[in-house]
Structure 1
Amino acid sequence: MHKWNTAVRRGLVSGATSSVLSTVMLAALGQKEVGSLCAPTNVISRWIHGDKAARQSGPSMRYTVPGYLIHHASATFWAILFERYAGSRLDRKAPAGLLSASAATAACAAFADYRLTPRRMRPGYEKHLSTSSLVMVYASFALGLAAGAALVRRR
């Protein structure tokens, strides 16, 4: 149980950093590719609002807030798993191990999001972003995991 408590505590931090960093990337790429900072985050709320969420481009309490909260919860879920299964072997003095573990976690998240998850429950980023942009989003997620993990190990 101790390992799970540590993983949750650390995962809350690395989940937050990965969520924020990947959301910033989603916004930047959304602005570049479809002219909207919020469209890639809004589409995530299709879990609640269906495909109508993919047509929302502006910021809103109805689409942007739930989209971000779902994204944040997902990032935190993956961060807790990352911390539970890789965390005990990570050393902040060995950034290569930290980066490779976070990259592997992001790859697993992408695989789960787009190969294992039913279409209706996928994030939906592909409705607004190119494949190369999706790679950048998941890479920023990995960097956020690594940054958060390094931060909690700094103490």
Structure 2
Amino acid sequence: MQTRREVLGHSAKVAGLMAAAGLLPAAAQAAWNEAAFKGKTMAEVVAAMGGSAPAESKDVTITGPDIAENGAVVPVGASSTLPGVKRLMLLVEKNPSALAASFDITDKVDASVSTRVKMGQSSNVYAVAMLADGKVAYAVKEIKVTLGGCGG
């Protein structure tokens, strides 16, 4: 009967051989667009992501509370009925980095996302849809925060 220590030793050897042979996947790394995260306004973020001038649209919707009790976890969502949406983004106007989230969308899924964002203070939140033809549409909602999420 093998001991636990022996089994773990053999497993480590097998994993080492698989890694040396290139049979293990490389570590997953998130794509990082530094210019987009440094953008302070919607126009700067959209330009850094390769989009054109944004235009307000009724085909893009944003969901979220009117008043968030805790700015550290504010539930927001974005969706669009426009055809050809390739990216949905959530931007918080008064955060140090306006870009809060970016989602790449394929034609096989509905253009609808939801997440939680951190808000340092009451601010406008934008849902931005980037289309395959380069057009950019957005919707805006003001969310009031009673307790700041960025150390406030």
TM-score, structure 1 length as denominator? 0.28
Larger radius of gyration: 2
Which fold has the larger relative contact order, with Cα–Cα distance below 8 Å and residues 6 or more apart in sequence?
1
Greater helix content: 1
